[in-house]
Structure 1
Amino acid sequence: MFIEERQQAIEKVLREQGKVRVRELSEMFQVTEDCIRKDLKTLENAGKLKRTYGGAILSQDYPLERDVIDRRNYHVEKKMVIAAKAMKLIREREAIFLDISTTNIELAKLIAKSNMQLTVVSNMIDILQLLAQNPKITAIGTGGIMYPTVNGFLGSAAIQVIRQYSFDRAFMGSCGIDMMDHTVTTLGVEDGLTKKAAIESSRHKYAVMEREKFYFNESYKFTQLDALDGIITDEFPDGSVQDMLDSLGVALY
């Protein structure tokens, strides 16, 4: 099989399955893993895919670049599973930070329905509107520059408010994990710097994200994995990812 034919075949597998593994492709085409990695790099340069830890996914099909308004109804059941797990970690009278995240919208719904007395700071308008329904919740907005695409506040003004607090727990959204250098990523610098401030102001830090984001990373790295206490997900990732997280002391929920 010629190189071009193999790469076309890899594209076909990607379209059918949504993601591929280097090891599996190596066995499928009877070539070395290094050969497959070169194929994936070529296809990534052509805009056909996005390389990930141990494989690749279809870059054009991944929904991370959608606005928050578009993502609210994406994978709702998975986000509800994640939110339920996160809710179990919260204790009475704690101070919580909820980052801009459609998963955190589901968590805010659970908090709003609870009977707990909490202080919750958020930079996302959707979350603040939900929490305001419960008189036992002290809901505090960061203010700052309003970004319509995320329906929330980012940047220096929001960061200044966040740094005034000492949070018991922070639940952070993510656009994916870079397994190569063990970092957590997001789309842009303003969001990344705001997230970083919240992490630095919190005793316990968690990323809330769907399983598929273990195999995808975005452009801005806002924290190292070992800075997190845990990652809350709908379904555990592959064993190799679990082993790596365990070695860094990052719990999976």
Structure 2
Amino acid sequence: MLVAERQKKIVELVNERLSIRVTELSKIFSVTEETIRRDLEKLEKENLLMRSHGGAVSIEKDQSETSYLEREITNATEKKAIAEAAVRIIESGDQIVLDASTTAWYVAKELPDMPLTVLTNSIKVAIELSKKEQIKVISTGGTLLSQSLSFVGPLAERSLGMYHVHKAFLSCKGVHLEKGLSDFNESQALLKKQMMEIADEKILMVDSSKFGTRAFSQIGPLSTIDCMIVDSKINEQVKQQLEEKNIRVTIVD
């Protein structure tokens, strides 16, 4: 198979599956992993895909990546209440990380102007916090996802690895009692996982509609979460099961 033909098929596979690993591509095309990495590097430069840890992800806009404007108005009342509860556990002098979720943006809006360091991959969060003089904002940088107005990719991942924070505040698309946390986008999932790894305390902010759902990319098991802030529509049995897993559950009206 010619190089150009192989690279064309790689792009087709990535767009079809949304993400794929180097090891799998190596087997499919019977070439070395190093050859596949060179292919992915070239294709990324041509803006045909985006490399991730151990593979590549599609940059085609699809229905799995809901636009920020749409997410902003979905369950807005619940998200605002959850954000207000999150702000109450943030203390002056804290170093925190906020993901690119709309709930994290509501946290940024609700935060008082006090001494804080906030690390984020969200453009919306950074802009909101820029209005507050005492808050130091650090952006991860990286590859821009226009649908979510966030930075992802190797640069964002390396940036996060340079820091340690007291608290990580994040959301996700799916919360499953057995299978854990998940997100539609692999790049976002990788970044959220790393956000939890650099934090002393991990706080998940989700509305009850996320429970029982499994999205495409795994973030991690529920055991990685210390605290969960949810709305009052959560099933009582689910709440008990979470507490049995030693997850503190804060319910907001």
Question: Shared fold by TM > 0.5?
Answer: yes
Which residue does 1:180 correspond to in 2? 178
Which residue does 1:93 correspond to in 2? 93
Which residue does 2:114 correspond to in 1? 116
Q: CA deviation at 1:215?
A: 2.7
Question: How well do the aligned residues superpose, as a CA RMSD in angstroms?
Answer: 1.4
Q: CA deviation at 1:104?
A: 0.8
Q: CA deviation at 1:99?
A: 0.3
- Does 1:246 find its partner at 2:223? no
CA contact (8 A) 1:64 1:175 kept: no
Give matches, 1:122-141, under 5 Å: 122-141=120-139
Give unmatched runs, 5+ long, in structure 2.
1-62
In the alignment, the residues of structure 2 paired with residue 193 and residue 173 of structure 1 have an alpha-carbon distance, to the nearest angstrom, of 13
CA contact (8 A) 1:231 1:252 kept: yes
CA contact (8 A) 2:113 2:133 kept: no
Q: CA deviation at 1:217?
A: 2.0
Q: CA deviation at 1:161?
A: 0.7
- Does 1:66 find its partner at 2:66? yes
Look up the equivalent residue of 1:73 and give its one-letter code. Answer: I
Query: Structure 1 145/128 Cα, relative in aligned 2: closer, same or farther at 3 Å?
Result: same
Partner of residue 193 from structure 2, selected from 173, 176, 196: 196
Give matches, 1:1-253, under 5 Å: 65-111=65-111, 114-181=112-179, 183-235=180-232, 237-253=234-250
In the alignment, the residues of structure 2 paired with residue 234 and residue 64 of structure 1 have an alpha-carbon distance, to the nearest angstrom, of 24
CA contact (8 A) 1:236 1:252 kept: no
Q: CA deviation at 1:237?
A: 1.8
Question: TM-score, normalised to structure 2's length?
Answer: 0.71
Instruction: Deviation per CA, 1:146-175: give whole Å up to 9, x if none.
Output: 110110101111011111111100111110
1:233 aligns to what SS in structure 2?
Answer: strand
Look up the equivalent residue of 1:72 and give its one-letter code. Answer: E
Q: CA deviation at 1:64?
A: 6.9
Question: TM-score, normalised to structure 1's length?
Answer: 0.71
Give unmatched runs, 5+ long, in structure 1.
1-62
CA contact (8 A) 2:113 2:135 kept: no
In the alignment, the residues of structure 2 paired with residue 249 and residue 64 of structure 1 have an alpha-carbon distance, to the nearest angstrom, of 31
In the alignment, the residues of structure 1 paired with residue 238 and residue 231 of structure 2 have an alpha-carbon distance, to the nearest angstrom, of 15
Query: Structure 1 173/236 Cα, relative in aligned 2: closer, same or farther at 3 Å?
Result: same
Look up the equivalent residue of 2:96 and give its one-letter code. Answer: I
- Identity within the alignment, %: 25
In the alignment, the residues of structure 2 paired with residue 218 and residue 123 of structure 1 have an alpha-carbon distance, to the nearest angstrom, of 21
Instruction: Deviation per CA, 1:52-100: give whole Å up to 9, x if none.
Output: xxxxxxxxxxx97421222112221111100010001101101010001
1:171 aligns to what SS in structure 2?
Answer: strand
CA contact (8 A) 2:175 2:182 kept: yes
Instruction: Deviation per CA, 1:7-54: give whole Å up to 9, x if none.
Output: xxxxxxxxxxxxxxxxxxxxxxxxxxxxxxxxxxxxxxxxxxxxxxxx
